[in-house]
């Protein structure tokens, strides 16, 4: 069946070799399936490459590392490798303010807020999505914050809970006066609590 006659480009159903965009999407689709099936820790970059029929080096080329694949596959609105260092490198006495300000800036833009809410919605209605979010946050976010900023996990999670609840009431339930409060008002309101959570010592 492998007739040498036809050009290789004509092998696919649409008569051409898949372009980089299609290959990228194929990798992400397989990654989503594998992450859903095996969880963040269980899905290796090599297995994702194999499922997509590409060389692992190409996955590296497109996404850097497994975290990068996950961020893209889950349509993470924020790249933790960009946002986290900013929060972590803030002066210790301004950790809370920096974290709240960073979140508010991301949420300000509906295009970045929507996928974050979508992920939260999925996690709330689907056990697999919840498991994925749990593993990713535990493996990537928590690991880095607790290690680099020396914040106890319970403190990070209490802070995350505060920000999640704030996002829900402000943007989903749209409770007033929270929904219309300015970012400065919200920083004044919430930053002291976050600051305490991020500097707790147990």
**Binders of a second copy in range 141-170 (CB under 8 A):** 153-155, 157-158, 160-166, 168-169
Pick the piece of the chain touching a second copy (CB under 8 A) from 1-9, 52-60, 83-91, 121-129: 121-129
Q: Which is nearer to a second copy, 11 or 172 (CB)?
A: 172
Tell me the C-alpha distance between 7 and 18, whole Å: 14
**Residue 140 interacting with a second copy (CB under 8 A):** no
Return the residue of 9, 21, 82, 125 that touches a second copy, per CB under 8 A: 125
Provide the minimum distance between the beta carbon of 198 and a second copy in the complex, in angstroms, as a whole number: 12
Q: Is 171 exposed, middle or buried (0-12, 13-18, 19+ CB in 10 A)?
A: middle
Pick the piece of the chain touching a second copy (CB under 8 A) from 10-18, 19-27, 76-84, 177-185: 177-185
123-127: which pairs have CB atoms within 8 A and are 24 or more residues apart? none
Could you give the C-alpha distances from 28 to 59, 78, 91, in angstroms and in order?
10, 17, 37
Interface ranges with a second copy (CB under 8 A): 117, 120-121, 123-125, 130, 133-134, 137-138, 153-155, 157-158, 160-166, 168-169, 172-178, 181, 185, 189-190, 192-193, 196-197, 200
């Amino acid at each position: 069946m492998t007739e040498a006659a036809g050009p290789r480009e004509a092998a696919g159903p649409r008569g051409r070799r898949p372009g980089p965009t299609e290959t990228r999407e194929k990798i992400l689709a397989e990654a989503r399936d594998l992450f859903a099936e095996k969880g963040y820790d269980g899905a290796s970059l090599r297995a994702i490459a194999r499922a997509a029929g590409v060389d692992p080096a190409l996955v590296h080329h497109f996404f850097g590392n497994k975290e990068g694949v996950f961020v893209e596959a889950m349509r993470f609105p924020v790249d933790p490798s960009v946002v986290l260092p900013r929060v972590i490198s803030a002066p210790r006495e301004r950790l809370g303010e920096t974290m709240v300000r960073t979140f508010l800036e991301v949420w300000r833009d509906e295009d970045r807020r929507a996928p974050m809410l979508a992920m939260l919605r999925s996690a709330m209605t689907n056990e697999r999505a919840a498991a994925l979010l749990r593993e990713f946050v535990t493996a990537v976010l928590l690991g880095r914050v607790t290690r680099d900023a020396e914040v106890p996990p319970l403190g990070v999670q209490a802070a995350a809970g505060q920000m999640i609840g704030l996002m829900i009431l402000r943007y989903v339930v749209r409770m007033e006066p929270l929904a219309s409060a300015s970012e400065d008002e919200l920083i004044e309101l919430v930053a002291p609590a976050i600051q305490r959570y991020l500097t707790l010592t147990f």
